[in-house]
Amino acid sequence: MKILTVIGARPQFIKAAALSRVLRRDNEEILVHTGQHYDANMSDIFFDELEIPRPDHNLGISGGSHGSMTGRMIIALEEILLAEKPDALLLFGDTNSTISGAIAASKLHVPIIHVEAGVRLGTLENPEEVNRVVTDRLSALHFCCTESSVEFLKKEGLSSTAHLVGDPMYDAFLFYRSRAPKISDIRLTSLDGGTVCVPEKYNYITCHRQENTQSPDALFEILSAVNSLSVPAVYPVHPRNRAMALSLCEQHGFENIIFCNPVGYLESIALVSSACQVVTDSGGVQREAFFAGVQCVTVLDFVCWPETMVDGRNQLVRPDKADILEKLRAPMTVDESYKPFGDGHSCEKICEIIAQTF
């Protein structure tokens, strides 16, 4: 088959790295990078270290409102679909790149394959939820990471095309963990350009979502909580909130936090896996902490992955210092037999089902 794959953001690069390696054994894959994540530390480094094939098309579309970005992507993807004439379009997750591909392909009657389908929060106030719902409704094949996603699709009348395969991000985590650097070999680049070593004991924090960074109050509470913990924290700062993070650091010091530039995927899974605790607002990082058996709190007002919310392993917190510290004090146990995200072979299952379907 000739399959056109659309990616544009960090989590999609990771999943594509795992799936493309298997998909290309028996299929021709045309890779399109929309440019949604364009910063070198958020995009180029992932292609280099994960050995993702270089995109056949790079659209360079980023910035602007949801409508502006999505509209420009639809126009560009329609042109590529008409030129490439693929047998199917493969999409990951729930970004603007995802919904743009779905709309463009559906208008041209190109079958859509959606990986990480069926995830639901239950509110259309979340922009990613809109992207997920629309993409699932337009897709011909739905590959689900967890049983709960299958159940959501059944409720929406999509059970005949829903397949429980596991999480490609878990596949990637298992494959690349052995290739990740040792913590002692990692050199972080501070925001002022200096080089910093990772402490022997540390916590790991990621924070980039708009609701946690659109005003300094929420980010201040999160950083205050992390700064008061007994070991230092490593905080790779997303380009979106770099200015705010720098301003808060200048005002309040936060001597117990290492503010640094974004890190690559291999460094990130090394840092997550060896951390004492993780504080994040990322759907991907909370799963990686779960995979690694590291206690995590997630600063959001909705549950992304209920499968991780067991035995104190991941807890939802408000952007509130007291709430974060209270949840981090909770005991955690890890049941090694509990594998809600599959067996690490989801990509093989996806490719088998694609071959059987088309």
The closest of 196, 200, 195 to 184, measured between CA atoms, is 200
pLDDT tens per residue, range 146-169: 999 999 999 999 999 999 999 999
% the chain with pLDDT above 90: 85
- Of the residues 37, 57, 163, 208, only one is catalytic, namely 208
pLDDT of residue 43: 63
Burial environment of residue 256 by CB neighbours within 10 A (0 to 12, 13 to 18, 19 or more):
middle
Rounded to an integer, what distance in angstroms lies between the CA atom of residue 338 and that of residue 333?
A: 11
Q: Does residue 252 carry a catalytic annotation?
A: no
Question: pLDDT confidence of 272, banded at 50, 70, 90?
Answer: very high
Computed on alpha carbons and rounded to an integer, the radius of gyration of the chain in Å comes to 20
Are 16 and 5 a contacting pair, CB within 8 Å?
yes
pLDDT tens per residue, range 119-133: 999 889 888 999 999
pLDDT tens per residue, range 16-33: 999 999 999 999 999 999
Average pLDDT of every residue of the chain: 94
Question: What is the largest distance, in Å, between two alpha-carbon atoms of the chain?
Answer: 59
pLDDT tens per residue, range 72-122: 999 999 999 999 999 999 999 999 999 999 999 999 999 999 999 999 998
Residue 40 has pLDDT above 80, yes or no: no
pLDDT of residue 313: 98
Q: What is the pTM of this model?
A: 0.93
pLDDT of residue 188: 97
The closest of 163, 205, 199, 196 to 183, measured between CA atoms, is 199
Question: pLDDT confidence of 36, banded at 50, 70, 90?
Answer: confident
The listed range with the strongest mean pLDDT (208-212, 243-247, 285-289) is 285-289
